[in-house]
Amino acid sequence: MSKLEVLHFPDPRLRKKAIPIEIIDSNITTIAENMLETMYDEAGIGLAATQVNIQKRIIVIDVSEERDQPRVLINPKIVSSEGIEQMQEGCLSVPGYYDDIERAEKIKYSYLTEEGELIEEDADGLLSVCIQHEIDHLDGKLFIDYLSPLKRQRLLKKIDKQERAQAL
Ligand code: GNR
Ligand code: NI
């Protein structure tokens, strides 16, 4: 197992669209293992392959308190959604920034397991938010894209300032 480097906004590679996985082989299961190690090491509740510069549709998640329920979702899709809810979000690719984001409250989602089994399930609460956040990553989208223009402008300025300071 090896820990992978997590890309940080505004890295343009975070905007790439991930490609569906056609064959689940040892290459894919190794990627999943390394993503889980990276997610636990960074204390995240989810991680999308896009964040570790892999353009494949695979995400890992663990929303359990004990952090002992690793899940690997291949080619995850939102099948349907209902309701609206607001939750405070953060992202390993936008360290140190948290804000309330509106998303669908309940979702029906599908994915392939590492064994190639097609699963369809319902989610609400934190799991629902996390799956929507991770699928967004696979499409090159970040939670900060949903901010109001004013909040977004403030954040971009702050990050720009941090980058300049670091370059010195
Ligand atoms: O660790 C994470 N916490 C989190 C909290 C609220 C909504 C979404 C998330 S996902 C984030 C890890 C991450 O950046 N995944 O892409
Ligand atoms: Ni994220």
39 lines ligand 1 (CB under 6 A): no
Using 50, 70 and 90 to split pLDDT, how confident is the model at 1? confident
Span 156-162, average pLDDT: 95
Domains of the chain, with CATH numbers? 12-167 (3.90.45.10)
5 given a catalytic annotation:
no
pLDDT in tens, 111-142: 999 999 999 999 999 999 999 999 999 999 99
Average pLDDT score over residue span 93-113:
98
Could you report the per-residue pLDDT of 13-57, keeping only the tens digit for each? 999 999 999 999 999 999 999 999 999 999 999 999 999 999 999
CA of 98 to the centre of ligand 1 (A): 10
Q: What is the pTM of this model?
A: 0.98
Instruction: Say which of 22, 33, 134, 163 is annotated catalytic.
Output: 134
C-beta neighbour count of 135 within 10 angstroms = 21
Average pLDDT of the chain, as a whole number: 98
| Peptide linkage before 10 cis (omega within 30 of 0) | yes
- In angstroms, what is the span from residue 24 Cα to ligand 1's centroid? 25
Which atom of ligand 1 lies at the shortest distance from residue 91's CA? Answer: 14
